[in-house]
Amino acid sequence: MKWEENVRRVVPYTAGEQPQGRNIIKLNTNENPYPPAPGVARRAKELEEDRMRLYPAFSEKSALAVALADHYGISPDRIFIGDGSDDVLSLAFLTFFQSGRPILFPDVTYSFYPVWADLYRIPYRCMPLDEDFRIRTQDYLPQEGGVRCGGVVFPNPNAPTGIWMPLEEVEKIVAANQDVVVIVDEAYIDFGGVSCLPLIDRYDNLLVVQTFSKSRSMAGMRIGYAMGSPALIKYINDVKYSVNSYAMNYAALELGVEAVKDRAYFAAGCDKIVRTRERAEKELTRLGFTFPKSYANFIFASHNKVPAKEIFERLKENDIYVRYWDKERINNHLRITIGTDEQMDALYRALEHIVKVS
């Protein structure tokens, strides 16, 4: 067909399976197993029907931007809010990576990065993690033999490994690349490690991206946000308003405020997942798995005898879903989301049969 010659073609991102069924144990997409803050449900019942027919009143001074600014102790003009962190990151790629030089990100990382780079025709290089799946800081330092690049992006903690890079190493990368934008994707930072957010006061080229999907239990509401210098935020807003001025829906803006307000519930929920993760580390070790120390709401595990693909398939037979990639370097690893204690107990029981531990 002649028209196909003019089609923009990319290999799309492959999301985790979304199985349907009442007794499914879903540990494959890093969703939070607990409900959002109680105020979210209360406010959902109060949403005004008449507001549904109107475009959402969204700006840098919206109630959600103000709530986030208060939570983090920064001004609202340093916050950008989008339709999930994927929307935020996609717009950031479109806005900031225009130099023509390759952007840099790890070879084992969030697999949406190369998709956006291909979509927006941004050249890129994947920098290999070391043998322990850690980011090699020196690869991102031009003055020390690293690549002179058009931008840098990486998750911290990294996904799917769960490994957190200390703040001083993050700062080295930001400081060494002040002629380009450095994006630190902190989707999992609330489960461990320390945020690099304080660095935005010292570096106007740093954009920190976070989400409501994980620690705030609101993946279905699609709320993501970025924090950085007012100049960065203005540039990404200009692009957003040129693509879709009303990306954030009324319900998400209203319910997001309630999630941010309840700090005690937020902290308790994160702590609950961390405690379950620590128990999971002990149980998985007993079952013969090895893994790096995780600072996220998942564990990146490999068994010492049974191939990961076999474990993945046999868990599915038991209606338990974890994440598996048939990709170089990680094709013998599973990413296991931390669920409730009851879900994790079911996982351990299934694994005992699969890996034959008595």
CATH code for the domain of 254: 3.40.640.10
By the 8 A CB rule, do 123 and 117 touch? yes
Residue 10 forms part of a structural domain: no
Listed residue (205, 266, 194, 208) closest to 232, CA to CA: 205
The model's pLDDT over 52-108, given as tens digits with 9 standing for 90+, comes to 888 887 666 689 999 999 999 999 999 999 999 999 999 999 999 999 999 999 999
Q: Are residues 178 and 291 in the same domain?
A: no
Q: Are residues 26 and 156 in the same domain?
A: no
pLDDT at 191 (0 to 100) = 98
230 lies in which domain range? 38-261
pTM: 0.95
Q: Are residues 76 and 215 in the same domain?
A: yes
Q: Are residues 76 and 198 in the same domain?
A: yes
Q: Are residues 64 and 186 in the same domain?
A: yes
- Alpha carbons 193 and 156: distance in angstroms, whole number: 9
Q: Are residues 285 and 216 in the same domain?
A: no
CATH of the domain at 349: 3.90.1150.10
Among 198, 230, 261, the domain-final residue is 261
Instruction: Please provide the DSSP assignment of 94-149 as one string.
Output: HHH--SSSPEEEESSS-TTHHHHHHHTT--EEEEPP-TTS---GGGG-GGGT----
Residue 3 forms part of a structural domain: no
Residue 12 forms part of a structural domain: no
Q: Are residues 182 and 303 in the same domain?
A: no
Residue 85 forms part of a structural domain: yes
Lowest mean pLDDT segment, chosen from 1-5, 216-220, 224-228, 307-311: 1-5
Q: Are residues 91 and 158 in the same domain?
A: yes
Band (253; pLDDT cuts 50, 70, 90): very high
Residue 11 forms part of a structural domain: no
Q: Are residues 229 and 124 in the same domain?
A: yes
Burial of residue 120, with CB atoms counted within 10 A of its CB: 0-12 exposed, 13-18 middle, 19 or more buried: middle
Domain count, the chain: 2
Q: Which residues pair with 321 in a beta bridge?
A: 26
Mean of all residue pLDDT scores within the chain: 95
Q: Are residues 205 and 328 in the same domain?
A: no
